[in-house]
Amino acid sequence: MRWQTSPTRFTEVTAVLPALIGDVEHSVRAHRTGPDEPARREVLRAAADLFFLLRSYLRRTGRTDLALLAADRAARAAEDADDPLRIPAAQWNLGHALLGSGDAEQAQEVAVRAIDRLAAHTVVDRELLAMSGALHLVAAVAAVAAARRRHWWAARARISDQARPAALRVGEGNVMWTAFGPTNVELHSIRVEMEAGEAGEALRMADAVDMSAPQSLERAFTFAADVAHCHHLRREDPAVLLQLLELERLAPEDLARSAVGREMTLGLIRRGRPLHARKAELLAERLGLL
**Are residues 75 and 189 part of one domain?**
yes
CATH of residue 55's domain is: 1.25.40.10
Q: Compute the distance between CA of residue 101 and CA of residue 196 in angstroms, rounded to an integer.
A: 19
Is residue 160 in some structural domain?
A: yes
| Residue where one domain finishes, among candidates 199, 233, 258 | 199
Q: pLDDT digits over 16-38, tens only?
A: 999 999 999 999 999 988 788 99
Which pLDDT band, with edges at 50, 70 and 90, does 58 fall under? very high
Q: pLDDT digits over 235-280, tens only?
A: 999 999 999 999 999 999 999 999 999 999 999 999 878 888 899 9
**Are residues 230 and 180 part of one domain?**
no
Asked if 140 contacts 158 with a C-beta cutoff of 8 angstroms, the reply is yes
Q: Name the residue range of residue 110's domain.
A: 19-25+38-199
The answer on pLDDT for 151 being more than 80 is no
Q: Compute the distance between CA of residue 75 and CA of residue 91 in angstroms, rounded to an integer.
A: 7
- At residue 289, the pLDDT reads 85
- At residue 148, the pLDDT reads 63
The residue with greater pLDDT, 146 or 82, is: 82
The answer on pLDDT for 101 being more than 80 is yes
Rounded mean pLDDT of 217-234? 94
- At residue 149, the pLDDT reads 61
Q: Compute the distance between CA of residue 240 and CA of residue 247 in angstroms, rounded to an integer.
A: 10
Residue 116, Cβ density class (10 Å: 0-12 exposed, 13-18 middle, ≥19 buried): exposed
- The total number of structural domains in the chain stands at 2
Mean pLDDT over all residues of the chain? 93
- At residue 213, the pLDDT reads 73
**Are residues 143 and 113 part of one domain?**
yes
Q: Compute the distance between CA of residue 233 and CA of residue 230 in angstroms, rounded to an integer.
A: 5
**Are residues 100 and 67 part of one domain?**
yes
**Are residues 142 and 66 part of one domain?**
yes
Rounded mean pLDDT of 198-218? 90
Q: Compute the distance between CA of residue 109 and CA of residue 130 in angstroms, rounded to an integer.
A: 19
- At residue 63, the pLDDT reads 95
- At residue 124, the pLDDT reads 74
Q: pLDDT digits over 8-17, tens only?
A: 999 999 999 9
**Are residues 146 and 67 part of one domain?**
yes
Which pLDDT band, with edges at 50, 70 and 90, does 74 fall under? very high
Specify the range with the lowest mean pLDDT, choosing from 9-23, 40-54, 174-188, 211-225.
211-225
Asked if 25 contacts 41 with a C-beta cutoff of 8 angstroms, the reply is no
Outline where DSSP puts E strands in the chain.
none
Asked if 90 contacts 78 with a C-beta cutoff of 8 angstroms, the reply is yes
**Are residues 245 and 163 part of one domain?**
no
Which pLDDT band, with edges at 50, 70 and 90, does 201 fall under? very high
| Residue where one domain finishes, among candidates 199, 228, 244 | 199
Which pLDDT band, with edges at 50, 70 and 90, does 285 fall under? very high
- At residue 275, the pLDDT reads 84
Q: Which long-range contacts (CB under 8 A, 24 or more apart) does 37-44 make?
A: 41/81, 41/82, 41/83, 44/77, 44/78, 44/80, 44/81, 44/83
Specify the range with the lowest mean pLDDT, choosing from 122-131, 155-164, 219-228.
122-131
